[in-house]
Amino acid sequence: MTKKEILRYDMIAKGVALLKQQQEYTQITLVRKAAVLGHVFATASLTNILNKEKGREKPIGLSLLKTVSDGIAGIIRSELGMEYNEKQQAYVSLPHFQEIYIVPEKPIDAAKSRIPVLHPDGRLPIPEKTAFIEGAQKEVIEFGVRLRTFSEYFTSSSEKEYKAYIIKLLEKGVNVTCYLLDPESQQARMYFEDRIKVMPHEKDAIEETRKAVERLKTVIREFEERNYRGKFEVWKYQHIPYNLFLAVDPDTPGGKMLISHYIYGIRRAEAPVMEIEKEYQPELYKKYRESLLLYIKDAIRIDVARE
């Protein structure tokens, strides 16, 4: 066996043992988590490697050893803040490591790998929306036009229906950031003037946006007084809106988004919603993530403390 092979075997054997001891993970759990990090291998391959380490011979290629060891090491780095030290032949703690992230465990589904989920009827019901965000670990981004319906989730719906889910996220340190079209901007005037030509009921859209801002300011004040670990913020952007985004942990391996393109002449709530995941549609996800970043780049935060 070459030195490189010995190193990889050691990384895998000690890594699997460490994750079993610290996290109680099974082999299938490790395979699913590694796939989210981009290291895809079969449970049988991991079993064969561990059996070979115990002296049960079966040919294993260096390429596969590297894929498996990188996957195991990636989980350990993300969840335990440790990395393999070749000199010590052990996993050691990384100094000043603070960004712990629990890698999602998802079944490997080849049929799902290229096909986004489409919700043709439009805006998701509240239970489906809360189910989409409740597993967030770092950040939830709500990006829309007026955020009228979103703001009313906090004022017109019962707390347990939606608000309680946001509070739970804030309590565990997840940041919830909301973006709406600045009602005082030229872009808002242009956008709604054009919409009114075919949708007269939107003639009061700018005023409705202002009302949504006031409702959200009340929510900001309430959450600031409670001093949650996570932050709840509302920002105003000044661009023509083309679609809605609901992003969960967008910059992590388990990032996912709901996206709804606005269709001219159709109510925004009725525009089809597409669900994509960074793991399954990486290139498509990258395009939408870049678009969202450009939208929010110059946004202005609503600071209620200054009012």
Statement: residue 194 has pLDDT above 90: yes
Query: Do residues 231 and 175 make contact, with C-beta atoms less than 8 angstroms apart?
Result: yes
Structure tokens belonging to residue 248: 């969960």
List the single range of 8-12, 54-58, 286-290 with lowest mean pLDDT. Answer: 54-58
Higher pLDDT residue, 93 or 51?
93
pLDDT at 109: 60
Dump pLDDT digits (tens) for 48-57. Answer: 898 875 555 5
The dihedral of CA 130, 112, 275, 273: what is its sign? negative
Task: Tell me the pTM.
Answer: 0.83
* Segment 117-124 mean pLDDT: 92
Q: Tell me: the pLDDT tens digits for 216-261?
A: 999 999 999 999 999 999 999 999 999 999 999 999 999 999 999 9
Supply the pLDDT for residue 280: 87
HSE of 192, CA atoms in CB hemisphere, 13 A = 19
User: Distance between CA atoms of 72 and 51, rounded to whole angstroms?
Assistant: 16
Q: How many CB atoms lie within 10 A of CB 82?
A: 19
Residues 188-199, mean pLDDT to the nearest whole number? 96
Retrieve residue 99's tokens. Answer: 């960004």
pLDDT reading at 108 higher than 70:
no
Dump pLDDT digits (tens) for 294-307.
Answer: 999 999 999 987 76
Q: Detail the DSSP E strand segments found in the chain.
A: 82-85, 90-93, 117-119, 139-143, 175-181, 232-237, 243-248, 256-261, 273-277, 300-301
> Is residue 74 within 8 Å of 18, Cβ to Cβ?
no
Task: Please provide the DSSP assignment of 10-42 as one string.
Answer: HHHHHHHHHHHHHH---HHHHHHHHHHTT----
Task: Give the mean model confidence (pLDDT) for residues 193-203.
Answer: 94
Flag whether pLDDT at 10 surpasses 70.
Answer: yes
Neighbouring CB atoms inside 10 A of 53's CB total: 15
What average pLDDT score do residues 99-106 get? 88
Q: Are 217 and 304 in contact (CB under 8 A)?
A: yes
Mean pLDDT (the chain, rounded): 92
Q: Which of 97-101, 200-204, 207-211 has the lowest mean pLDDT?
A: 97-101
Within 10 A of 250 (CB to CB), how many other CB atoms are there?
Answer: 20
What is the predicted pLDDT for the residue at 142?
Answer: 98
Residues 6+ apart with CB under 8 A from 250: 139, 141, 257, 278, 289, 292
Query: For 110-306, which CATH superfamily applies?
Result: Endonuclease Chain A (3.30.870.10)
> Positive or negative CA dihedral for 90, 94, 98, 101?
negative
Residue 96 clears pLDDT 90, i.e. is over it: no
pLDDT at 81 over 80: yes
Mean pLDDT of the region 280-302? 96
Q: Choose the weakest-confidence range: 14-18, 81-85, 303-307.
A: 303-307
| In the chain, where the domains are located | 3-93, 110-306
